[in-house]
Amino acid sequence: MQTIGLVLCIANTQPPGTTGPEVRRACDRAYFPMLDLLEERASLRVAMHWSGQILEWMDLHAPERLEQLAKLVQGGRVEIVGGLHGGAVLPALPERDAVGQVQVNQRWWRQHCDVRVRGAWLPFYAWDPAAPRVLGRLGLQFSVLEVPQLGPGASGEGYWLAEREGTILALFGADPVLSRMVPHNSPAKIVERLGAYARGGRRVVTMSVRGEDFGAAIDSSATRCFSGEKAWARRFSAALEDASAWLKLVHFGNVLDKVRPSGRVFPPASAATAVAAAALGGEPGAQWQTLISDIRRGVDPTLARVSSFIRIPGWENTLGSSPEVLRLHRRMLRTSREVARLRAMLRDDGKRGDDADGLLEALEEATAALYRGQNGAAYVHGVDVGAQAGDIRHQAYANLVRAEYGVHIALGDADRLIVEQSDHDGDGRKEVIVRTPSLCAFVAPAIGGSITELDSWSLPGNVLNTRTRLPEPHHGAVLRGENLPVVVEDSPDVTTVIIDDEDDTDEDTIDEADRPMQFAASGLVERLHYDRHVRGAFVDHFFGPETTLHNLRTGRYAENGDFVGADYQLLNVDDGDGSEVSVTMAKDGNVTEGASLRLVRLVKRFSFSRELPLVEARYEVVNRYHEPIRTRFAVGIDINLDSTTGDDVFLETAGGRRIAIDQVGELDELTEISLVDLSRGYRLTLSPRQPARLWHFPIETVSRSPRGVAALYQGTALYFWWPMELWGQEKRRVEIALSLEA
């Protein structure tokens, strides 16, 4: 049989917010046993990528393991693949941050292990056509994509050359089927497939594997990769050794130095299959993923003729399908600009002495926080750990807010009241951004005059970190599988085991779309609801008598006004004497009452205090029609920090009554309600000045999680409402105050 080279690349990463004990567990279960196995078997040669979070943890808590890794590198057993130190999605970054993250990673390896990295790992295979220029000019020579991403005419043979502005980057095409066979299929099946490639004339094949697949995930299905009589990783290494007469393990660098490129490619923007499908959103994503599966399995011969021309969607589509990722991404861009402003000032002013040292230290801390806030898991859907989880988004927000506040302190303007008007979210309309010594609020006149983000510097974090309930690609499978049994129990301790040889999974079930859906709980269909508008704070509604708490919670209610998400007119932004900022907006709209249509003017004024973490909303509802109107005016406020639930987090009324945040209910004559987090020590209080009726319920999405598809808590929806009977030209005033103690 003809000899074939196998580049085996293992990517070890952890999501943002992973605690020290969780990193330790992942290392003990997968990363460290892999190092021991490499040390034990001299014939094994692999490429490895390590995320910055794991490297920094190892440097502090397991320096002996770093030494072990360095020896394996120096002995030619392990090739290091560098990349973006914070694990960012490349297309999401401003170029200055992409360059900065790569340089941090290069310096880290040089200083700690005396390693010069030659390649860059791209998290979630998120490709940007500018990558050859960005990475190539930093001295990097190669990266890895999945074969279908390379474009028409390209295969998984060897490597291909991509170019941008005269700078070349070699691209290795990872075989997607080989990658998904680990550890679900037997090692013999993988070697058998490699043998078929060798007989077909292949010279070099690339196989990329996530470290999580070897048992690093907190809820991993691969619990026996390194232990027990049938340890999968040991059987795999033995199978590779048995085939060593024709199967040679090689590094990326060896291939670059000794093998000619297979040709040139010019890949468009793309991402990993699951991420790409989720980026399309709902039914389009599900249809696209099914199409890709049909092509791979040869279901329709007609598809085979056009398969190489079917484009894989890029990460950028996520910004159109996911409001929460769009908001987080825009927040990240703003923070990046602030950090760049501090860097430019330090460079241009040429300061010396203690001032310069203090500013440099502040810049380093802000940059590190910014890079942590750019971790790619917070900017993608479709994977088990992604932006669908509120705690992942919170980690990003917390780091971004921490970075921006550090810049303000360094520049000496943290105690100022600052207002700006700019198109923050890129919708072609300006938002009003108010920054106080306590809070930062984003007011969107073009989105119903709502507040879309409210950051606390002291927490730090965004207290409106909720998620809009929208269709997701796997929801069709949820509906089809509503009568199927739960295959993964809703328990943090439950694990399943890898499939042994005798129970080997057929190769055709390896495709993502072909795998049976795993449900982490029963009754998901009953929790599958969709929102009619993007969630936020101070969203204005008019409800008729037919609207109930139940149909509001399920998204099947009647909206009697046309104010939700509408374009409000910005009347005035006033910073007065510097003690507070007020933002006043108005809209003339229609409210229906039965078959009648009434003209209503709604004036909304936000006041932001300089001295207190306080936002006051004052409403004036005016019946502009000559006939009376009977309606219910409601203000919706969706609150959440990190999606933590439990006894330490609850709603509390003025009378001291505690209510679970994931409970559905209603309260009468309410004058105050607080979201309390005892463990974090913060209290967010909402106080209607006119006693209101309150409807409250948890916001849940049926989304992917490490345990399978589950109902994920995304925040609590609060609807304050008042019955209104307004005669012709009559007006009614309503006020709500939001205060924060942290």
Domain that holds residue 70: 4-267
CA distance 698 to 16: 24
User: Is the confidence at residue 499, as pLDDT, over 60?
Assistant: no
pLDDT digit string, tens, across residues 16-29: 888 889 899 999 98
pLDDT digit string, tens, across residues 625-673: 889 999 999 999 999 999 999 999 999 999 999 999 999 999 999 999 9
pLDDT digit string, tens, across residues 346-392: 887 665 566 777 899 999 999 999 999 999 999 999 888 999 999 99
pLDDT at 80: 98
pLDDT at 307: 78
Is 294 inside a domain boundary? no
User: Is the confidence at residue 533, as pLDDT, over 60?
Assistant: yes
User: Is the confidence at residue 495, as pLDDT, over 80?
Assistant: no
Is 44 inside a domain boundary? yes
Is 330 inside a domain boundary? no
CA neighbours closer than 13 Å in the CB half-sphere of residue 98 = 24
Domain CATH code at residue 679: 2.70.98.10
Cα 300–chain centre separation: 35
- pLDDT band, very low/low/confident/very high, at 15 (cuts 50, 70, 90): confident
User: Is the confidence at residue 81, as pLDDT, over 60?
Assistant: yes
pLDDT at 16: 85
Dihedral sign (CA 474, 480, 486, 491) = positive
pLDDT at 691: 97
9-11-12 Cα angle (round to 5): 140
pLDDT at 594: 87
User: Is the confidence at residue 428, as pLDDT, over 80?
Assistant: yes
User: Is the confidence at residue 483, as pLDDT, over 60?
Assistant: no
Of the three residues 267, 286, 314, the one that is the final residue of a domain is: 267
H or E stretch including 39?
Answer: helix 32-40
Is 373 inside a domain boundary? no
What is the pTM for the complete model shown? 0.93
Is 449 inside a domain boundary? no
Mean pLDDT of 162-173: 97
Is 240 inside a domain boundary? yes
The answer to which of 98-102, 179-183, 416-420, 488-492 has the lowest mean pLDDT is: 488-492
Is 303 inside a domain boundary? no
pLDDT at 122: 97
Mean pLDDT of 88-109: 97
pLDDT at 498: 40
Closest CA to 624 of 662, 586, 651, 674: 586
Is 726 inside a domain boundary? yes
Q: Which residues contact 721 (CB under 8 A, 6 or more apart)?
A: 541, 543, 632, 633, 634, 635, 692, 693, 694, 695
Closest CA to 86 of 364, 387, 372, 363: 372
Q: What is the β-pairing status of strands 4-12 and 204-210?
A: parallel
User: Is the confidence at residue 502, as pLDDT, over 60?
Assistant: no
- pLDDT band, very low/low/confident/very high, at 88 (cuts 50, 70, 90): very high
Query: Number of folded domains in the chain?
Result: 2
pLDDT at 507: 46
Mean pLDDT of 126-134: 97
CA distance 211 to 136: 26
4-13 as b/e: b if 16+ CB within 10 A = bbbbbbbbbb
Mean pLDDT of 702-713: 92
pLDDT at 223: 54
Domain CATH code at residue 186: 3.20.110.20
Of the three residues 220, 245, 267, the one that is the final residue of a domain is: 267
Of the three residues 267, 291, 325, the one that is the final residue of a domain is: 267
Task: For the chain, give the mean pLDDT.
Answer: 91
H or E stretch including 337?
Answer: helix 323-349
Largest CA distance in the chain: 92
DSSP state of 313: P
Closest CA to 742 of 682, 660, 653, 658: 682
Classified as helix, coil or strand, 597 is: strand
Classified as helix, coil or strand, 379 is: helix
- pLDDT band, very low/low/confident/very high, at 444 (cuts 50, 70, 90): very high
User: Is the confidence at residue 580, as pLDDT, over 90?
Assistant: yes
Q: How far is CA 88 from CA 19, 83, 150, 607, 619, in A?
A: 19, 9, 21, 37, 42
Mean pLDDT of 697-705: 96
